Structure 1
Amino acid sequence: MKRIKLERVIIITIAMTIIGGLQSWYDHVTIGSMFSLGESEIYKFQTALLFNLISGASGGLVASITLNFIDDKYRTKPYYQGLIIIVSMFMLVWAIRNTIEAFILMETEPAKGFVFAFDAIDMRNIIFWMTIVLLSYFFLQMENKFGPGKLTQIFFGKYNIPREEERVFMFLDLKSSTTIAENLGGIKYHLFLKELFSDITTPILETGGEIYQYVGDEVVLSWPTEGSGNLNYIRCFFAIQQLLKSEENKYLQRFGVKPYFKAGAHHGTVIAGEIGVVKRDITYSGDVLNTTARIQSMCNELHSSFLISNDLLDLHPIPYSDWIIERKGEIQLKGKSETIELMSIYKY
């Protein structure tokens, strides 16, 4: 999550700095056009360029930090609340910028004194930069909606033509979900899941996981096989369990329960492709999904919180110094003609 936030700060700051420079260049070209009265005595392109670059960089830094704050604290809140914060911060930055500009002009023309400008140029700048900031906020929400990197993939049509991919899948299922739902009731149970899924998002993103689907009280996660050599799917599961352990008191106070997950993991070939017109998305299809779901369904029967296939263990051997590996033997999964060897993973 920290890496994602840092990348967001860097990208937005650089982008707004470049936009600030382009705006200075556009103004300079416009001033020299046949429709302009020409440059004023106090105008210098180098000064305007430097000022706009600094303004763009500082504005981008403030905007990206604000977006990270909104993403942290207002992730489950209505969008308009985040919108109010980002607009308020923009107006504050604009006021500070124009105050600094007024002091610079006062040094240039002392006779005029301090003049806080608000004219047609300011209106243009407000509309222009407000549009940039709101677009940044919009893309942040779309990125959250589709998942990190998905919006870019859809934009460039990466999956317009279906393609084969090797991926690791993990099915996370809430323990005792039926009992919890009966005790909490429909609305409170939904609020409980909303809080729970929001909390586990951070360890998922920090371990490079992709949230593929929410299915009731179940979450389907995925990682590229070639990027799973660091065993991120295992780190993800135990990071989630550790997080929920640390948040036990919060859940007990609000909902009267202590949530924990059981999980199953497997790897294989899937067909990845874009589907839909009105509600477009990237979907995966393949037997690996069915197999992973059935592995997860064996957790209660085999008295394990985390089961993986031996095929996945062979793909990326797990260091025994970090985790305990218990062989559960050859298991006949429901709906499968062949047996599969399952392993149970525990943390020391």
Structure 2
Amino acid sequence: MTLQPARGPLTGLRIVESTAFIAAPLATMSLTQLGAEVIRLDPAEGGLDYRRWPLAPSGASLYWTMLNRGKRSVTLDLRTPGGRQTAADMICDSDSGGGIFVTNLPTRDVLAPQALLERRPDAIVVTLDGSPDGISAIDYTVHAASGAAMMTGPEGHVGPVNNAVPFWDVIAGRTLAMGILAAELYRLRTGRGQHIALSLSDIAMETMANLGILAETEVTGAARARHGNWIYGSFGRDFATRCGRWFMVVAVTRKQWRALVTATGLEREMAALSDAHQADLDDEHTRSHLQDQIGAYLQTWAAGLDLSQIAACFEGTPVCWSPYRDTLQMLAEDTRASPANPMFVRQSHPGVQDVLTPRSPLRFSNHPDLAPGQAPTLDTAPKRNGT
């Protein structure tokens, strides 16, 4: 099944990109799902990530395929002066919706931000680098620098724990998309373009500051300790069931906490714990202080039940919980990762047959039929959306 791009809220916006890896391709793919036209500039052999794992049986990169859906590709060698000049001509043509260039690769001469802005003053040039000090960085080195890897993992664990999902890249991609739209709105109001620069490391440092973690470290003089799978400052943890499965349960609000106590039948135990400590368990900070005692009662309860029985206890209640699943279990058990979720359709791509492919997670009431987009083949002519 192949769905053609619908005319979304960004129809008429045209973006040229020279990108690789995650953040920058994700930014433009997010916009093409909303109707923007995105043209990739690719070397004839494919870019740095064109064969990156995981691979389909055909050898096609599932990674590259999913991050470049809905785009078109033009084969162009930007290593040559002629290729760079052709690219600059494409970026700076007279189209009112064009003049946008996104890259996380080195630029020079006619493709340098200032050169493009001199040629087309309303151009929007977006560049992503690793670090504002010029140091090379990718998600995993930024993760190492941010402190997050030393907060993650079991209590008492020695050494870093990386995240399997490169979420700094994902946040950077969405931030880039926001920056492009902000610059486009400014251009519509003023007729002026600009250069937007973003460093991946700044995404991590900003996030750690926004969550209060840097401020906490400054005022306490201590690093955030590891808490295993406990939710910091509230109540929530993983629990093991009789059948060998695990589930996560969280009680951040009073409503969630009371629902959890009722569903588990632990009213008497929680009342006794509250009396013994002269503490109000409706308060999330109190629950955090007494998490070990509360957790012991919940683990005893969970250990006597199979996951299906626990699901029955929580069904129809405000308890906030979820089973832990590997990716195969997710596909088998969770209808949100299936065509039952309107975000997904089964769609083929070049070299990849009928895989779950998501639309934009944004649901627009005026644009209900946005398609997920199909990955391009190299050297596709730069046609326009809707033609």
Provide TM-score, normalisation by structure 1: 0.23
More helix by share: 1
The structure with more radius of gyration? 1
The structure with the largest strand share of the pair is 1
